[in-house]
């Protein structure tokens, strides 16, 4: 009985895609591949009841998923894998169209990099001479409140992709999209490190709650990135 149901569900998906699938049916079909000989419909319903939405299920931590009856290590791993696969797919699709000149698209892309992340992480966006994005990769993963960076990691990531310009991006999963004092100090240090090898740090983006803060575009921090920034900007930074 289960096999016939699974066959019909697969055929429905192949013919019409997921558009007509309610959230629990999406999860039900996904769990086919982790739970081979069991009715996954009720487990899917329990996931939705526990987390509320499909996206919340996909963003859930491994330990929380395993608390749902019927979800074991294999099922939880599959759910997390699919969520991260979708994120990587979308990032690669968008990446080809990203340039530093298109700030709105760049900021949306930066926000997408941190979707679902519960801990602080740092990404380095590598650009060529025309400020076209070459690569965006995670270079560090921290805790809920901090992420560490070292100069060697920054330089290796930039050299690996032949970048002449870079953007640093990190998130505040439990905070606001604004730099802390340590973020400012880290940015100043990164500028010096990259300048020493003739690579320009264009910006440091802070992402939180779906928002993206550009340090290079803010008068208080503009002087970090531009030696020729107007003196009034230096005065603002000093005063505040």
Q: Is the pTM of this model over 0.75?
A: no
Nearest to 144 by CA among 84, 216, 61, 213: 61
- Per-residue pLDDT band for 239 (boundaries 50, 70, 90) equals very low
CA dist 104 to 3, 71, 178, 211, Å? Answer: 48, 39, 17, 11
Q: Give yes or no for residue 221 having a pLDDT over 50.
A: yes
**pLDDT tens-digit map of 47-99:** 999 999 998 999 899 999 999 999 999 999 999 999 988 877 776 766 656 78
- Per-residue pLDDT band for 230 (boundaries 50, 70, 90) equals very low
- Residue identified by tokens 């900007």 is 233
DSSP state of 20: T
Burial 146-177 (b: 16+ CB within 10 A, else e): ebebeeeebbebbeebebbbbbbbbbbbeeeb
Highest mean pLDDT among 99-103, 137-141, 202-206: 202-206
- Rounded Cα gap, residues 125 and 120, in angstroms: 16
Nearest to 188 by CA among 217, 164, 155, 223: 223
Beta bridge partners of 170: 122, 206
Which parts of the chain are beta strand (E)? 121-127, 133-141, 165-171, 200-208, 211-214
- Rounded Cα gap, residues 6 and 68, in angstroms: 22
Supply 95's token pair: 């990446």
Mean pLDDT computed over 25-34: 95
**pLDDT tens-digit map of 127-147:** 999 998 988 889 998 888 888
Instruction: Report yes or no: 133 and 165 within 8 Å, Cβ to Cβ.
Output: no
């Amino acid at each position: 009985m289960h096999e016939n149901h699974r066959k019909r569900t697969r055929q429905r998906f192949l013919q019409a895609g997921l558009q007509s699938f309610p959230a629990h049916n999406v999860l039900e079909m996904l769990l086919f591949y982790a739970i081979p000989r069991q009715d996954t419909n009720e487990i899917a319903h329990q996931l939705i009841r526990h987390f509320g939405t499909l996206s919340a299920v996909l963003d859930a931590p491994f330990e929380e998923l395993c608390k749902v009856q019927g979800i074991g290590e294999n099922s939880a791993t599959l759910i997390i894998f699919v969520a991260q696969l979708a994120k990587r797919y979308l990032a690669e699709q968008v990446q080809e169209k990203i340039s530093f000149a298109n700030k709105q698209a760049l900021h949306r892309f930066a926000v997408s990099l941190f979707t679902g992340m519960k801990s602080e992480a740092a990404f380095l966006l590598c650009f060529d001479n025309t400020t076209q994005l070459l690569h965006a990769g995670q270079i560090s993963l921290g805790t809920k409140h901090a992420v560490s960076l070292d100069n060697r990691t920054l330089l290796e990531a930039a050299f690996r992709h032949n970048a002449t310009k870079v953007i640093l991006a990190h998130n505040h999963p439990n905070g606001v999209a604004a730099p802390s004092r340590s973020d400012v100090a880290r940015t100043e240090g990164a500028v010096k490190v990259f300048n020493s090898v003739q690579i320009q740090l264009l910006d440091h983006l802070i992402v939180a709650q779906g928002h993206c803060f550009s340090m290079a575009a803010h008068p208080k921090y503009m002087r970090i990135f531009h030696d020729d920034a107007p003196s009034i900007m230096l005065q603002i930074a000093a005063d505040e």
